[in-house]
Structure 1
Amino acid sequence: MSDINENIKSEKQWLRGLFMILFLVVYEIAEMVLVAVTLVQFLFSIITGSNNANLRQFGDSLAQFAQQTIAFLTYNSETKPFPFADWPQASRRIAEDEQDEQQAPPTTGS
């Protein structure tokens, strides 16, 4: 019973709870940004016939941010995500795909 009382009175627990509420709100905003990025990327691909590399990189870093946020919210990480840590960089895979596209010869339409 005394452990429960100590946990209830623990400033560390309540502070983490406040951060969790903050990151729940931030996660909801990130979901709205995801919808916007998805729509803009789709429109870009409809208009130009290819995707936008900058949006792909941002989308990848946004996905990493979401993963970091979920890990914090579910107690799988004690590391607070952005803005308490650096914004995640796009993965190497995205950069390699981008280089491959730049090196590929242009295709001719049929």
Structure 2
Amino acid sequence: MDEQINYNLTNIDAWKRIFFMLIFAAIGGLVRMLLWAVILLQVASTLLTGKANKNILNLGRSLSVYTYHILLFMTFNTEALPFPFSDWNQTAELKMPEK
């Protein structure tokens, strides 16, 4: 049992994943702040024009999907690294792993 714990603690792949998780935790925080700006812009656009702005809708959807990709990675539901380590559109193709 101690050997297994020692192996797990010295496994370089686990430490690399932890490192990337910390990076994406910070990126996720920035993206969430940007999403709030998008929300406020969309509210203002709706109040001024009476309808949602299509460009802001697309940006909001794209940032939401990106946040989803980050959360999937951080909860170990995918091994695919989010953008900028993969394509921006890769999240739409993600599938839940088979158990």
- TM-score category (smaller protein): 0.7 to 0.9
Q: CA RMSD in A?
A: 1.4
Alignment of 1:15 onto 2:11: no
> Which aligned segments of 4 or more residues in structure 1 are displaced greater than 3 angstroms?
none
Q: CA deviation at 1:86?
A: 1.5
1:79 paired with 2:80, answer yes
Gaps of 5+ in 1: 92-110
| Equivalent in the alignment of 1:3 | 4
Q: Tell whether the 8 Å contact from 1:37 to 1:55 is kept in structure 2 after alignment.
A: yes
Alignment coverage as a number of residue pairs:
90
Superposed counterparts of 1:19-98, under 5 Å: 19-88=20-89
Shift in Å at residue 85 of structure 1?
1.3
Q: Is the Cα–Cα contact under 8 Å of residues 65 and 81 in structure 1 kept in the other structure?
A: yes
TM-score normalized by the length of structure 1: 0.78
Secondary structure of the 2:86 match is coil
1:41, 1:9 → 2: CA distance?
48
Higher Cα radius of gyration: 1
Identity of aligned residues (%): 36
Unaligned runs of 5+ in 2: 93-99
Residue identity in the other structure for 1:9: T
* CA offsets 1:25-45 (integer angstroms, 9 cap, x no match): 001001100100000110011
The amino acid of 1:69's aligned partner reads I
